Structure 1
Amino acid sequence: MVRLDENEISFPDPELYDGHEGIIAFGGDLSIDRIWFAYQLGIFPWYNPEEEILWWCPDPRFVIFPNDLRVSKSMRKILNRNIFTFTENQNFKEVIKNCQQTSRKGQAGTWLSDELMETFIQLHKYGLAKSIEVWQDGKLVGGFYGLQIGKVFCGESMFAKVSNASKAGFIHFIETHKDELELIDCQSHTDHLESLGAKMIPKKEFLKILYENHERR
């Protein structure tokens, strides 16, 4: 692994460097510029808040192609009942706070530190991060957020306070934006997303799609 210099925003080339089990660098900071640059390279931070920042670009990569979306009959019935309504970028702070506070199976705490959360809030203010909110009876019951890198949406985290809320939001997002998206990056495997059609692809293929669908800046 490569130690990053806090005074220089740079990363090892993920096309040429595999790192250790998907970790290609550590250290650095969580500045807006570094986070934005990292995601354009297909790199993301994932670490325990009390530890050093770890930067990942795993191989293979867990993704979903919009045309591969699978919606079960039972889920389609739930969507057709219109028990949920959906908005975008209407309450980013509440979505990311709920994602931070949601307990995860097999995790003792949260990986989403206050510092990283504040960076994403600032990225949202610049129009680079977006949130999808799921409502029921006027209450926020689910949602997720991520970064839009050209035609690739890099999903970060989701939450649900009632059954099927986050799944409904994810399906709605893909069906609404499938003509504008080439790929949704899910980063790491979950059974929840696999049931919706997500799958593993080689890192090389993921990076090719990412680089072809945005201009790095």
Structure 2
Amino acid sequence: MSLQIPWLDDDPDAPFPDPGAVRGLPDGLLAAGGDLSTTRLLNAYRQGIFPWYSEGQPILWWSPDPRTVLRTDGVRLSRRFRRTLRSSPWVARADTAFERVVARCADAPRPGQRGTWITPAMRAAYQRLHALGHAHSVEVYAGPEPDAALVGGIYGVAIGRMFFGESMFSDASGGSKAALASLAAWLHARGWPWIDAQVESPHLLALGAETVPRARFLDRVAALAAAPGGPGRWTTAFGARPVRQLAAPG
């Protein structure tokens, strides 16, 4: 018997199916179709839903149970990595190379994965979100110089006081960890408690991620996404943050 996936209509404000009411589909798959308009994407994230599909597939919308999150005060860096950071010249900045970060995330090889889910349509959609101040990146550079090489980064969507992580990459060992930890420290200082990490993986668990029941996740996301906080670039507020600051015991 073929699976009957709920299909979204053309109205970007059309409601998504209730995650708790969908039965008989792969865990977390809610719907297919629709588009990647800014309106639909922001509506999806506010409800704890995200797009995830491969080239040649229709747009697929997901809300896994359980959900994987990182507490912004709970990113775990090994003692060995912290020791390397003490003398590191790396510097973290925000929203200075969003398109490059997304491109590197799309190109980065993933164990057991052929191709990428960050399709050209997805890249264009998140670039639109970034241009409107809803999507952000944190970049880690090899040094403070204007022409320093990009060694790692992370990007995602921010709504209210909730950050929805999408992907990260490293071009030097530890680059993605430094980007994630820099982002988390900055968000924690501003009262943002969670980074959505979507789906569990050994790498995320090693960094301190934990899983929570979907119902709890959705309740908290609804409150955090409704909190005050408007769109806009983070470059000035984030500043230039030496990653050696992450070496302090946490």
TM-score (norm 1): 0.94
Quick one: which of 60, 63, 70 aligns to 2:69?
63
Question: Deviations 1:15-46 (Å, cap 9, x if unpaired)?
Answer: 54466211000111111111111111110010
Q: Which has the larger radius of gyration?
A: 2
**Matched AA of 1:81:** S
* Structure 1: tracts of 5 or more residues without a match: none
2:93 maps to 1:83? no
**1:172 corresponding residue in structure 2:** 182
- Which aligned runs of 4 or more in structure 1 are off by greater than 6 angstroms? none
2:7 maps to 1:3? yes
In the alignment, the residues of structure 1 paired with residue 219 and residue 132 of structure 2 have an alpha-carbon distance, to the nearest angstrom, of 26
SS state at 1:178 partner: helix
In the alignment, the residues of structure 2 paired with residue 35 and residue 175 of structure 1 have an alpha-carbon distance, to the nearest angstrom, of 26
**2:106 corresponding residue in structure 1:** 100
C-alpha change, 1:80 and 1:110, in structure 2 (3 Å) is same
What is the percent sequence identity of the aligned residues? 38
2:198 maps to 1:187? yes
In the alignment, the residues of structure 2 paired with residue 212 and residue 204 of structure 1 have an alpha-carbon distance, to the nearest angstrom, of 13
TM-score (norm 2): 0.82
| RMSD between aligned residues | 1.6
* Structure 2: tracts of 5 or more residues without a match: 228-250
The question of whether the paired residues in 1 share the 8 Å contact of 2:28 and 2:63 is answered with yes
In the alignment, the residues of structure 2 paired with residue 39 and residue 120 of structure 1 have an alpha-carbon distance, to the nearest angstrom, of 13
Alignment length (residue pairs) = 216
2:212 maps to 1:201? yes
The question of whether the paired residues in 1 share the 8 Å contact of 2:70 and 2:208 is answered with yes
Q: Which one is further off, 71-80 or 141-150?
A: 71-80
**2:247 corresponding residue in structure 1:** none
Question: Deviations 1:162-182 (Å, cap 9, x if unpaired)?
Answer: 111001111111122213212
